Amino acid sequence: MLAPRDPLEALMPLREAMSRLFEESFVTPRFEMLTMRTIPLDVYETDDKKQYVIEASIAGFKPEEIEVTAEDNVISIHASKKEQKEPKEKESYIRRERHVSEVERTVALPTHINPDKIQASYEHGVLTLKVPKMEEAKPKHVPIKVKETTVAQ
């Protein structure tokens, strides 16, 4: 019996070699220090269409190291470490990838939001923001008054 063959299977050794080359490159640590990492997140609208929910993965940060700002329809999340652990003289790292001390992400939502009513919670490395939409101006029924006219007899 013939098993289906994955056409990308032949490229995997090349991909692994390129990954290893990039990881072992002397440029990688310096390049990572110059760039700010981004925050992976999910954004969805609740079933009742009254609010957005943003779930952002910010593992490794304490709640007091996270700052959320809202303006118009834009939410910004910024997290930064207050202190860095410096390697001691006796420590000799084989690999050090947890040195990133700052991450940031900005999300533009499709409608105006009510920044005064945003709720934020942080659990198991996930920041959850409940962002209520701004109540749109609802049409108001305007009653029409009828003036009575006197009919001349």
Residue 153 included in any domain? no
Q: What is the pLDDT of residues 101-118, one digit of tens each?
A: 788 999 999 988 999 999
Q: Mean pLDDT of all residues in the chain?
A: 78
Residue 106 included in any domain? yes
Residue 62 included in any domain? yes
Please determine, for residue 26, whether its predicted confidence score (pLDDT) is greater than 50: no
Residue 78 included in any domain? yes
Please determine, for residue 39, whether its predicted confidence score (pLDDT) is greater than 80: yes
The domain containing residue 101 runs over which residues?
A: 36-84+97-135
H helix and E strand count, the chain: 2, 8
* Percent of the residues in the chain that have a pLDDT greater than 90, as a whole number: 39
72 band by pLDDT with thresholds 50, 70 and 90 = confident
Residues 66 and 122 sit within 8 Å (Cβ to Cβ): yes
Please determine, for residue 131, whether its predicted confidence score (pLDDT) is greater than 90: yes
- So what's the pLDDT on residue 113? 92
As a three-state string, the secondary structure of 47-107 is CCCCEEEEEEECCCCCHHHEEEEEECCEEEEEEECCCCCCCCCCCCCCCCCCCCCEEEEEE
CATH of the domain at 123: 2.60.40.790
Residue 151 included in any domain? no
What is the count of structural domains for the chain? 1
36 band by pLDDT with thresholds 50, 70 and 90 = low
Residue 18 included in any domain? no
Residue 15 included in any domain? no
Most confident of 13-22, 113-122, 135-144: 113-122
Please determine, for residue 30, whether its predicted confidence score (pLDDT) is greater than 50: no
Residue 9 included in any domain? no
- So what's the pLDDT on residue 98? 64
